[in-house]
């Protein structure tokens, strides 16, 4: 995707993929962790797209200060958190945008192996 905007199909893929993993956790089906398993969620909501947040995220990403916490990301409606995913893309560069989206989200989610279930709160 490099510097291209997401297309409608890509947005659906991002949401569907994130929500797939959210359901796994919400239903208490994630056995991995350090230690695991992860507890079921009590009030996890479905992730939805927000155009205002997409603009903010895009601007933040283009600044290329990946490891500095951005202080100007909240919107009037609610606070916003950030998540950074940096990967060597040689293995997925030739894939479709949807394949790259799946790869990035799965790689990010696999960090659950290192997540202490006591941190859930």
Distances from the Cα of 27 to the Cαs of 30, 37, 43, in angstroms? 8, 12, 11
Provide, rounded to the nearest whole percent, the portion of the chain with pLDDT above 90: 40
Distance CA 36, CA 32 (A): 5
Model pTM?
Answer: 0.79
Q: How confident is the model at residue 59, as a pLDDT? A: 80
Convert the pLDDT of each residue in 57-116 to its tens digit: 888 777 766 667 666 667 888 777 777 777 665 666 677 878 888 888 999 899 999 999
Q: Map out the domains of the chain with their CATH numbers.
A: 8-114 (3.40.33.10)
Whether the predicted pLDDT of 1 surpasses 50: no
> What are the residues whose beta carbons fall under 8 Å from the beta carbon of 103, sequence distance 6 or more?
87, 91, 92, 95
Virtual CA dihedral for 88, 91, 95, 97, nearest 10 degrees? -20
Q: How confident is the model at residue 72, as a pLDDT? A: 65
Strand partners for 89: none
């Amino acid at each position: 995707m490099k510097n291209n905007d997401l297309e409608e199909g890509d947005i659906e893929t991002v949401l569907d993929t994130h929500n797939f993993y959210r359901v796994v956790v919400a239903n208490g089906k994630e056995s991995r962790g350090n230690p695991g398993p992860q507890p079921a969620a009590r009030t996890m909501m479905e992730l939805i797209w927000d155009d205002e947040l997409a603009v903010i995220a895009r601007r933040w990403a283009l600044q290329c200060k990946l490891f500095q916490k951005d202080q100007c990301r909240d919107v009037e409606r609610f606070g916003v958190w950030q998540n950074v995913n940096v990967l060597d893309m040689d293995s997925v560069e030739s894939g479709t945008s949807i394949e790259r989206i799946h790869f990035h989200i799965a790689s990010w989610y696999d960090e659950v192996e290192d997540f202490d279930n006591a941190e859930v709160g």
